[in-house]
Amino acid sequence: MRKKVTVVGAGNVGATLAQRLAERDSADVVLVDVPQTEGMPAGKALDISQAGPIDGYDSRITGAVDYGPTKGSDIVVITAGIPRKPGMSRDDLLNTNAGIVKSVSERIAEASPQTILIIVSNPLDAMCHVALRTTGFPRNRVIGMAGVLDSARFACFLAEELHVSVEEIRPMVLGGHGDTMVPITRYTTCAGVPVTELLEKGRLDAIVQRTRDGGAEIVKLLKTGSAYYAPSAAAARMVDSILMDKNRILPCSVFLEGEYGFKDIFLGVPVKLGAEGAGPVMELRLHEEEKAALAKSAASVQELVAVLKKSGVVSS
């Protein structure tokens, strides 16, 4: 029997992810959106299906406005939520998207109680907390797509600066998915050489800042939307590692229970992704300034979670 991956949210991120997954031909895909969208998810699913004979994949793509077809999904990726608009921070999205993610999580837990959840909705780390508390899933089955995207942006800018293939860059980004993320330059390499030895500090600091502003830069340029090509690629890489039990070490937002000195919080760290979801966390030895930056990032996430607890969206 083929594996099944459900993508909740048929907007730009969700539909592009569904296409990427179909092209991999490793699972059937269900694309779900709210009833108000009527035939939209079915139309997109049919369009993706009709590309199969051209690109040579047999994945079955189903579009739906209910959760019946999602039953028994091996992985569910939640992309649902309102996108960030110009001038809007991820924090501004908190209340609206928390309600959406909570509702979706309830339905997914009922339809696919053994599934692994990948959260893409923003503000990401806080939305992971909502999904975990709503579903009651163990921590290995709720994972946020954060560091894979942030690291890709970091690698893109570094490769451009160094005039090398992106395949030569091995980036490392920790922390929350937002303005306080922590690119770790000491652990970021080009052909095995730390980038701190290849670029002068001022230039490297500028690239780090551009990485932190990566999503906002795209929002500003698009004016009417937010990034979706790179986020969907990042989510697809995570799906691959889980479906194929590849056990890749990827930077993802996971629920920490003492790792890096933090508890009861989702934060981006290197983690092994395999058939059971999130495996062991890889703990890097950090310098004091890196620890301080990570603590600042964690505090930013904790502030959002505190707001959610106060509003009753999640339990204390």
Q: Distance between alpha carbon 228 and the CA centroid of its chain, in Å? A: 11
Residue 275 makes CB contacts below 8 A (sequence gap 6+) with 242, 243, 245
Looking up tokens 């569910």 gives 76
d(CA 299, CA 112): 33
CB 81 within 8 A of CB 121: yes
d(CA 136, CA 121): 19
**H helices present in the chain, as ranges:** 12-24, 40-50, 52-55, 94-111, 124-135, 147-162, 201-212, 214-222, 229-243, 288-311
Q: Is 163 a catalytic residue?
A: no
Q: How many residues does the chain have?
A: 316
d(CA 127, CA 174): 17
Torsion sign, CA atoms 187, 198, 215, 23: negative
Is 193 exposed, middle or buried (CB count within 10 Å of its CB: 0-12, 13-18, 19+)? exposed
Among candidate residues 129, 163, 177, 287, the one labeled active-site is: 177
Beta strand pairing status for 75-78 and 169-170?
unpaired
Phi-psi region of 9 (alpha: psi -120 to 50; beta: other; left: phi over 0): left
CB 201 within 8 A of CB 116: no
**4 phi/psi in degrees, rounded to 5:** -130, 130
- The residues annotated with a catalytic role in the active site are 177
